[in-house]
Structure 1
Amino acid sequence: MSLPPLKSLPVFEAVARLNSFSHAAAELRITQSAVSHHIKALEDHLGESLFVRSGRKLELTLEGQQYLDTITSSLNQIARATDLIKGASETRLRLTVYSSFAVYWLIPRMPELKRRFPNLELTLEMSYAEPELSDRVADCFITIDKEKRGFHFDLLYKERLFPVCSTAYLEEIKHTLHVHDDQELHAHLAASPQSLANFPLLTSFSMYEKYTEEWRRWFASMGTNLPPNAQFHRFSHLMLAYEGAKHGLGVALINDYMLQSNSDDGLVRLPCSHYATEDHFYFAYKHSRRHEPAIAQLKQWIQQESSSLRV
């Protein structure tokens, strides 16, 4: 077995994580010269450069990045195995989650999580795009990506998008379309979904990395094309479109989990059909860590809380 200088591995991980020799030295309570010695010893053993300097900027080489991914996971496993033998149970978890999911669904429910598992310390890392599934990033993830070797994926729900607007704007829609109640509006939109394009539509780039795409798909699900006369307010992220709809800018398509905890904020669902996207949301974690108490607790709680989304 050809092992590297083992004492150098935590030093390498610290330098890569902190992107600094001096910060790593301070964290590890050793001299910066000692840090440099450890990195040189590791590079000599591997026969590869792990870092490259560009002025004051320190970056991992491709080989360094690949090595870091493996080393971080291995060091974490060693630490967890040691705690297990010592009788210590890890209660701290890092969860990477989409920003809208965190703000509108998870955070309002976290007091209940704290009551249920008072010793669980959860750190939220917000993601605006698909997170990199790696122990270096977080311990577990909410993601629509399920193509990662060595990870386990538990289905939370299948995404749907609903047209929503403010309560005041809903009355304006009824008045303009000459309907008197939700039942008449439902019949009108079912027969003529294009009439919704008479009102400003709110679109977000982040959902499909393309403006208006979510509305094109909604109209297609209703059996018609996106009307050429449609006018749009454009937002970079779904959260901004949500807020725009809440403040009466028009009609937005929002995710079902955003409706779950916001029934009293003045935002209402229009009485018309939803659009079922092809995205499935999963709770993801390393298969090798499936028996860890903290991950098992969080998994159990999230699955139970998300059960209403699967109806």
Structure 2
Amino acid sequence: MSPLPPLKALQAFDALGRTGSLALAATDLGVTPGAISQQLRKLEEAVKARLVEHDGRGLRLTPLGATYHAQIRQGFAAFTEAAAVLREADADVIVLSCLTTVLGKWIGRRMRDWTDLAADARISLVGSDTEPDLSQGAADLRIYYGGRHHPPHRTELFVDHIVPVCAPSLIDGHRLTGPDDILRFPLLHIAWDPRFGANPGWAEWGRLIGTRPPPANLTYGLSGSAIDAAIAGQGFVLGQLAFIGPELEAGQLVIPFDLRLPLPDPYYLAWNPDSLRKPGARAFHRWLLGEGRAQGLVSAHRLDSSGCSETMER
């Protein structure tokens, strides 16, 4: 099989065929007329045929060149059409950006509910701890934490709570008579990124029960990693309710004493208004708000000693 001619040579030939002038072809491609001539020579060498000739005023296509150009033009038209199709397809994708753990431990787990409602909507989920510039199209929607970042279009999604949880195997065979018994086990700490402010940790939870906890045995930079460590039986973690629901239902984690602390800030949903014009975007936006409201109710309620639901104070 003969090798394909160089793309730049084909572009120069196509420009000459479209414009009918060496100078106009050079202007069209933003190069010099000499560069166009050089690429035309390379093309003739590659195809081993005479495609252009001098007519006394400049270059023109030979009859064989005109036939070849008609085919080349179809190819470049196909490139243009393919690019348009790609742009159109990309324009329909709704990009949701989230903090890494929010994506992995919360909204990513709920997406099956959304796809059951709107199977045709095209969603791209991006986990990033860097806040995207929604106004520049870096994402269409963003779930973020805390009030230090203020996009112009945003609303509160939910306030989460933390509670001590562990793997059942960690406390198997141990009798826990009160919340302070938790502090006899290894404690896992989550060190938040400073830009999110201070997160409540074991010291704050200790004040809730009127005691001073010992230093944590292990520290993790991501909530998701600390939760996974607790599932593996490495210790107790102050897990966010939004991130541990399936593990609690499956019995991978247990809450010996349901004493919760609210996070100091809510999670927010921000969006680019122009993005809501995408197919399904407004419905997806409403669905996210509904999921946030539902999570806020779950995180703010616990079972009291009688088994009834009881609202926690914020």
Q: Same fold (TM over 0.5)?
A: yes
Distance across 1 between alignment mates of 2:194 and 2:166: 21
Structure 1 position 243 matched with structure 2 position 244? no
Cα distance change, pair 213–111 in 1 and its aligned pair in 2 (3 A): closer
Displacement of 1:98:
1.6
Cα distance change, pair 231–203 in 1 and its aligned pair in 2 (3 A): closer
Cα distance change, pair 251–206 in 1 and its aligned pair in 2 (3 A): same
Structure 1 position 164 matched with structure 2 position 165? yes
Whether the 8 Å CA contact 2:158–2:267 is kept in 1: the answer is yes
TM-score, with structure 2 as normaliser: 0.59
Structure 1, residues 182-213: CA drift from partner, whole Å, max 9, x if none? xxx4xx22xxx3x4321110112236579996
- Identity over aligned residues, as a percent? 18
Distance across 1 between alignment mates of 2:182 and 2:260: 14
2:244 aligned residue (255, 259, 262): 259
Displacement of 1:141:
0.3
Displacement of 1:265:
5.2
Whether the 8 Å CA contact 1:143–1:282 is kept in 2: the answer is yes
Name the counterpart of 1:273.
259
TM-score, with structure 1 as normaliser: 0.59
Cα distance change, pair 219–295 in 1 and its aligned pair in 2 (3 A): farther
Name the counterpart of 2:122.
121
Amino acid paired to 1:259: I
Cα distance change, pair 245–150 in 1 and its aligned pair in 2 (3 A): closer
Distance across 1 between alignment mates of 2:290 and 2:281: 14
Cα distance change, pair 91–112 in 1 and its aligned pair in 2 (3 A): farther
In the TM superposition, what are the counterparts of 1:130-209 in structure 2 within 5 Å?
A: 130-134=130-134, 135-146=136-147, 151-172=152-173, 175=174, 178-179=175-176, 185=177, 188-189=178-179, 193=180, 195-206=181-192
- What SS does the aligned partner of 1:261 have? helix
Distance across 2 between alignment mates of 1:120 and 1:168: 42
Displacement of 1:270:
2.6
Name the counterpart of 2:95.
94
Distance across 2 between alignment mates of 1:157 and 1:291: 25
Displacement of 1:309:
1.6
Amino acid paired to 1:205: A
**Higher Cα radius of gyration:** 2
Cα distance change, pair 150–213 in 1 and its aligned pair in 2 (3 A): closer
Displacement of 1:166:
0.4
Name the counterpart of 1:103.
104
Whether the 8 Å CA contact 1:207–1:238 is kept in 2: the answer is no
Whether the 8 Å CA contact 2:106–2:243 is kept in 1: the answer is yes
Distance across 2 between alignment mates of 1:113 and 1:198: 42
Distance across 2 between alignment mates of 1:287 and 1:215: 40
Cα distance change, pair 290–122 in 1 and its aligned pair in 2 (3 A): closer
Amino acid paired to 1:273: L
Name the counterpart of 2:287.
301
Name the counterpart of 1:60.
none
Pairs aligned (count): 216
Unaligned runs of 5+ in 1: 1-29, 39-78, 180-184
- What SS does the aligned partner of 2:160 have? strand
- What SS does the aligned partner of 2:268 have? strand
Structure 1, residues 92-145: CA drift from partner, whole Å, max 9, x if none? 111111222212222222222112112211111112x35234334211100124
CA RMSD of aligned residues (A): 3.6
Structure 1, residues 261-298: CA drift from partner, whole Å, max 9, x if none? 33215111232311111120111102455565533111
Displacement of 1:171:
2.5
Cα distance change, pair 231–113 in 1 and its aligned pair in 2 (3 A): closer
1:217 aligned residue (204, 208, 212): 204
- What SS does the aligned partner of 2:286 have? helix
Whether the 8 Å CA contact 2:227–2:237 is kept in 1: the answer is yes
Cα distance change, pair 253–157 in 1 and its aligned pair in 2 (3 A): same
Q: Which has the higher strand share?
A: 1
Amino acid paired to 2:228: E
